[in-house]
Amino acid sequence: DHKGRLNHWLGFSVSFLTLGGFLALIGIPLNKSLYTISYMLLSSAASGLTFMALYVLVDVYGHRRLTSVLEWMGKHSLSIFVLVSSNLAVIAIQGFYWTKPENNIVHWIVSRFHHK
């Protein structure tokens, strides 16, 4: 049932959070570049708590519309990765420019909001 799952996940998340915080306090740094144990424990705890919140929102209360963007991103994650890593997404968002790099859609939108 939902309560059993949530209690199980909460136990792991809180224990990871506590242990990671303790290790950070005694001198093991929170360093992503080195992937220290304290960093991994705290990021795992944050992920677990976020997962629990989404589980309650979607599976317990049935609010699927709020997470439809996340569902779409999950279904198309490889395509999104390829578009972002090849800079095609940046080009599509920023757009092509005419004669000067400042003549693009992002600059146009930003200038419209700053003048008002």
Query: What's residue 97's pLDDT?
Result: 67
Query: What's residue 37's pLDDT?
Result: 95
Query: What's residue 18's pLDDT?
Result: 98
Sorted by sequence, the CB contacts under 8 Å of residue 76 that are 6+ apart come out as none
Query: What's residue 41's pLDDT?
Result: 97
Distance CA 15, CA 49 (A): 12
Sketch the domain layout of the chain as residue ranges. Answer: 1-63, 64-115
Distance CA 53, CA 40 (A): 20
Rg of the chain on CA atoms, in Å: 21
Q: Note down pLDDT in tens along the chain; length 116 residues.
A: 999 999 999 999 999 999 999 999 999 999 988 899 999 999 999 999 999 999 999 999 999 898 899 899 999 999 999 988 988 877 777 766 667 777 777 777 777 777 65
| The pTM of the whole model exceeds 0.75 | no
Query: What's residue 32's pLDDT?
Result: 86
Q: Is residue 45 a contact partner of residue 36, using CB atoms and an 8 Å limit?
A: no
Sorted by sequence, the CB contacts under 8 Å of residue 80 that are 6+ apart come out as 73, 89
- Classify the phi-psi angles of 100: left when phi > 0, otherwise alpha if psi is within -120 to 50, otherwise beta: beta
Query: What's residue 102's pLDDT?
Result: 73
**Using the 8-state DSSP alphabet, how is residue 100 labeled?**
S
Query: What's residue 114's pLDDT?
Result: 73
